[in-house]
Amino acid sequence: MKKILIIGATSAIAQEVAKIYAHEKAELVLWGRNTQMLDIIAQDLKVHGAAQVTNISHDLNDLDAHEKTVAQVWNQLQKVDVILLAHGVLGNQLEAENDLDELLQIITSNYISHVSLLTFLAQKMREQKSGTLAVISSVAGDRGKQSNYVYGSAKAGKTVFVDGLRNRLFTAGVHVINFKLGFVDTPMTKDFKKGPLWAKPNLVAQGIVKGIEAKKDTVYLPFFWRFIMLIIKSIPESIFKKLKM
Amino acid sequence: MNEIQNDPWPSWGLYPSALNQSYQDLLSRLSLIPKEFDTILPRGFGRSYGDTCLNDHGLLLGTSRLNHFISLDESNGIIRCESGVSFDQILQLIVPKGWFLPVTPGTKFVTVAGAIANDVHGKNHHAAGNFGHHVVCFELLRSNGERLICSRTENPEMFFATIGGLGLTGFITWAEFRLSKIASAWIEQEQIQFYSLKEFFELSAQSEEQYEYTVSWADCVSNQSDIRGIFMRGKIASPQAQDNFKVHALSSIKTVPLFFPEWILNKFSIRAFNEMYFRKNLSEQRTDIIHYDPFFYPLDSIHHWNKIYGHRGFLQYQFVVPYKHDSGKALAQILDILKRSQMGSFLAVLKTFGSKKSEGLMSFPQEGVTLALDFPNYGPSLLKVLEQCDTIVREAKGSVYPAKDARMSAESFKVFYPRLAEFEQYVDPQFSSSFWRRVK
Ligand SMILES: Cc1cc2nc3c(=O)[nH]c(=O)nc-3n(C[C@H](O)[C@H](O)[C@H](O)COP(=O)(O)OP(=O)(O)OC[C@H]3O[C@@H](n4cnc5c(N)ncnc54)[C@H](O)[C@@H]3O)c2cc1C
Ligand SMILES: NC(=O)c1ccc[n+]([C@@H]2O[C@H](COP(=O)([O-])OP(=O)(O)OC[C@H]3O[C@@H](n4cnc5c(N)ncnc54)[C@H](OP(=O)(O)O)[C@@H]3O)[C@@H](O)[C@H]2O)c1
């Protein structure tokens, strides 16, 4: 039986990933901050076939709680096969340009909390010498642009951290994978006008589980974002800086 | 015209358009109804054609976050889920376990609450009644914060007002209903050509005993004097050697990316399509074993097929009239009007409803024969013809289906739905819709 830890388990994408593992009759631990939603999701996962679901309700930006909560997870599961880090906030870029609180909120939610968690998770994974650490990042981290560079820089920092961690844990038999997502139709993006590039969370979740199974390193989802970002990254900065994006 | 295109929350027929609709999702089934809007209408997948799922200048309160299952009793086939769970999601879960929806409309992209609010019917009406007949209970959230558990024994008045209640009695947060057991995910389907209404009624009478599912496609545009068509009847096939409980595929979905130019569908192309469809059956009768997906949901394989009608949108017209006492005279009269008007319908679907009485105060189905037609939005000339049809339906003591309506008059509505006054006392004071303001 697979044992799965989902961090940021109320995320629409994370819920779809959890459902796929529930179908495989996995045991899951869900970690998020909204107790009521976690209960609703746990019920849903049991209907989908999960062997057992345990909830941990704790704000992920409370860094002081990370170490002991990670220990609590290992008490529950003994061994963890897959960990998904899914939490994050889009934040308000314009506000963050003038307001330190908003700036730090975005950086903490999308970067600091992740690297703190990854540090404690890595210790445990190294001890057990197996398992996969999967992190959700964003194509916004591939190149900074005025409309969301605060969010993007947090995701970019995370990418570098995750790449380094992959390198470090390789010899321990622990796999680390970074998912760079394009536009996904979720509560985070509810105010955006949707077009043909937008993907549904259940399809993205299928890509995530496939990527984990195939032990990929970096995966763009949907796949075509790899090409879109290749083009975007190839624009010379002298031109890029003049664009309104 | 552009308003339709720019309205992010149109109905399936893309007509009529609604202006200044706000949209918000209820965050969870434990949340409360927002207070700051004058009018609120719950919204499912927007698969209703006309304006029952529109709320001009008001709020659409969405169910897309209410997509969680609550419980499944696999031995007795009873499921409880949140109101925004779709039939698509339910089939994915239950088919592999040998269960099926008790009643399903012609698309699986509808929500449980949408199916309750229109008390939808399917190809098995003669055997199983409406979706509402299989609902055990649900929770109704009212704008004053009250949460009512409704069933045939608890708050029964609210239960019967909400089944077929067009989203006006409050917000359904979750529902529980019964499933039907299947021996396989496959259907044994027979298709038989018919050349007159009389033959259609005979085939219906013969088939209802032995076939759980019946429906006919009718050609209403050919030059023949009487109607012709293909009668389709099916039953769940016995267990198959391979893929017995196969679930429909997700990947085969194609999308109609753009609006088609409006000249593509005209009376000549519609007639040609109908001719071709009729001829697809090379012999007069054939039997196949087909999967439930193409049998129940032939249109689902093309996403947004509604765009083939172009920006002008289209209108559906579905009515039911009694036929047993007069051999379908009212139906024949309406077919005659339509033929003379030269208003072509791309797809005409004909079916007999059985004698099972609808339970909802405002449910559409009644014993009789039902015909569903769709028309490109031809404008005023079409509206006039449909008004003539309404007159016949009224005289015949039949009814027109609100889920597909964009035009019936308030007078007709009162005649079609004689329990309207009784229903009105259960309408939530903050709830309304474009349809409701039009016909009330
Ligand atoms: C291709 C196709 C085939 C169809 N075939 C059939 C058929 O065979 N038989 C049939 O009966 N119908 C049929 N329909 C119509 C369709 O089944 C109904 O319109 C159905 O109600 C649509 O469900 P929805 O989830 O899209 O709801 P919407 O269209 O979004 O809403 C429908 C109604 O439900 C109400 N509602 C939604 N959520 C809630 C809630 N949480 N609480 C209270 N009220 C709520 C809305 O206010 C509205 O009044 C068909 C439609 C299509 C597009
Ligand atoms: N949607 C996209 O287009 C897109 C694109 C690229 C990358 N991503 C990334 O994908 C991930 C998942 O997002 P999503 O699209 O699924 O959106 P979502 O449904 O809004 O999920 C984000 C989740 O993060 C949780 N969260 C945020 N801060 C938290 C905290 N301090 N403690 C606990 N939980 C916290 C939120 O919980 P609450 O419900 O309690 O607020 C929410 O459930 C995010 O990392 C996002 O950056 C998304």
Virtual torsion, Cα B300, B303, B308, B309, nearest 10 deg? 80
Phi-psi region of B80 (alpha: psi -120 to 50; beta: other; left: phi over 0): beta
Spell out the domains of chain B, with CATH numbers in brackets.
186-407 (3.30.70.2520)
B-interface mutation test, from A20, A43, A189, A202, most B Cβ less than 10 A away? A43
Pick the CATH number of A3-240 from 3.40.50.920, 3.40.50.2300, 3.40.50.10330, 3.40.50.720: 3.40.50.720
| Three-class DSSP category at B321 | strand
DSSP characters over B150-212: EESSSSHHHHHHHTT-TT-S-EEEEEEEE-EE-S-SEEEEEEEEE-SHHHHHHHHHHHHTT-S
Q: Do the Cβ atoms of A189 and A204 come closer than 8 Å?
A: no
In 3D, which of A137, A39, A21 has the Cα closest to residue A82? A21
* ipTM for this prediction: 0.95
- A44 vs B70: CB contact, 8 Å cut-off? yes
Virtual torsion, Cα B342, B348, B353, B359, nearest 10 deg? -90
Structure tokens given for A160:
């570098």
- How far apart (Å, rounded) are the C-alpha atoms in residues B216 and B369? 11
- How far apart (Å, rounded) are the C-alpha atoms in residues B337 and B325? 21
For ligand 1, is residue B47 a contact (CB within 6 Å)?
A: yes
Give residue ranges with CB within 6 A of ligand 2: A 8, 10-13, 32-34, 59-61, 86-89, 109, 136, 138, 181, 183-184, 186-189
End-to-end distance of chain B based on CA atoms, in angstroms? 27
- How far apart (Å, rounded) are the C-alpha atoms in residues B49 and B96? 32
A-interface mutation test, from B25, B68, B90, B250, most A Cβ less than 10 A away? B68
| Three-class DSSP category at A117 | helix
- Picking from A37, A48, A193, the nearest residue to B28 by CB comes out as A37
- How far apart (Å, rounded) are the C-alpha atoms in residues B37 and B29? 19
Task: Take atom 19 of ligand 2 and give the residue whose Cα is closest.
Answer: A11
**β-sheet with A52-57: strand ranges across:** A52-57, A27-32, A3-7, A82-85, A132-138, A175-181, A218-221
- Picking from B8, B70, B93, the nearest residue to A43 by CB comes out as B70
Q: pLDDT truncated to tens, each residue of chain B (440 aa)?
A: 333 446 789 999 999 999 899 999 999 999 999 999 999 999 999 999 999 999 999 999 999 999 999 999 999 999 999 999 999 999 999 999 999 999 999 999 999 999 999 999 999 999 999 999 999 999 999 999 999 999 999 999 999 999 999 999 999 999 999 999 999 999 999 999 999 999 999 999 999 999 999 999 998 877 777 888 999 999 999 999 999 999 998 754 455 656 666 666 677 777 777 777 777 665 678 889 999 999 999 888 777 888 878 888 899 999 999 999 988 999 999 999 998 888 877 779 999 999 999 999 999 999 999 999 999 898 999 999 999 999 999 999 999 999 999 999 999 999 999 999 999 999 999 999 999 999 99
- A44 vs B69: CB contact, 8 Å cut-off? yes
